Amino acid sequence: LANRGADWSPKFTPDPRKAPKAKLPVLVDEDKTIPDSDQIRDHLEAKLKVDFDEGLTDEQRGQSRALIRMMEEHFYFAVVCDRWLDETVWPLIKTVYFGHLPGLMRGFITRVARKQAIGQVNNQGMGRHSPDERFERARKDIAAVKAVLGDKPFLFGDKPTGADATVVAMFGAAAGTPASTQIRDHIREDKNLMAYLERGREAMYPTG
């Protein structure tokens, strides 16, 4: 996974509405726009003839899949709640995500976006838990990742694999929440985890 494949550069947008599934991320590859991180991975593995999990046993591949799903379908929603539900974080998110919008539109768009985000976490279920309950769920996910990581450089050894790409992105997002939350501070206070995030970014993210 590290230092291989095609060159790419990230382009950040807070507005997923024009994406094929109205979700981010998407990969723009020549004339194709590929939605969804799972489909992006499949596309890259097929096109570049690489295996993100090269060298892993079937058991490790199973663990990798389970970790990715835990991050994307569980932990992710705890981070969404931190950002959109929490009354102390929300005003900062509003500025960071929507500060570029003209004042008049900003009020309207942020109200709609927040209502949608709250509807989503309530339907999914995470939004129904109290902040302490959500933290406890997220903390157990973090502990599970740390148990797999141990004192290895990456989750399954010396080299990053598919699960590292997801975990580094998700923990990085959680650590980057623009105000103090239990989840954010729990990750930030963990020196080993922060060193792992740094290592992951260095190995997998474009430079410059």
Ligand X SMILES: N[C@@H](CCC(=O)N[C@@H](CS)C(=O)NCC(=O)O)C(=O)O
Nearer to ligand X, 23 or 140 (CB): 23
CB of 40 to ligand X, least distance (A): 7
Considering the complex, what minimum distance in angstroms separates the CB of residue 35 from ligand X? 7
Pull the structure tokens for residue 114. 């927040």
Give the residue at shortest CB distance from ligand X. Answer: 37
Closest approach, Cβ 81 to ligand X, in A, equals: 13
Judged by beta carbon, residue 22 or residue 28, the one nearer ligand X is 22
Least spacing, CB of residue 158 vs ligand X, in Å: 26
Least spacing, CB of residue 207 vs ligand X, in Å: 23
CB atoms within 10 A of CB 48: 11
Q: Which residue ranges make up the site for ligand X (CB under 6 A)?
A: 16, 22-25, 36-37, 72, 116, 120
- Quick one: 137 or 153, whose CB is closer to ligand X? 137
Q: Toward ligand X, which CB reaches closer, 25 or 153?
A: 25
**Minimum CB distance to ligand X smaller for 92 or for 153:** 92
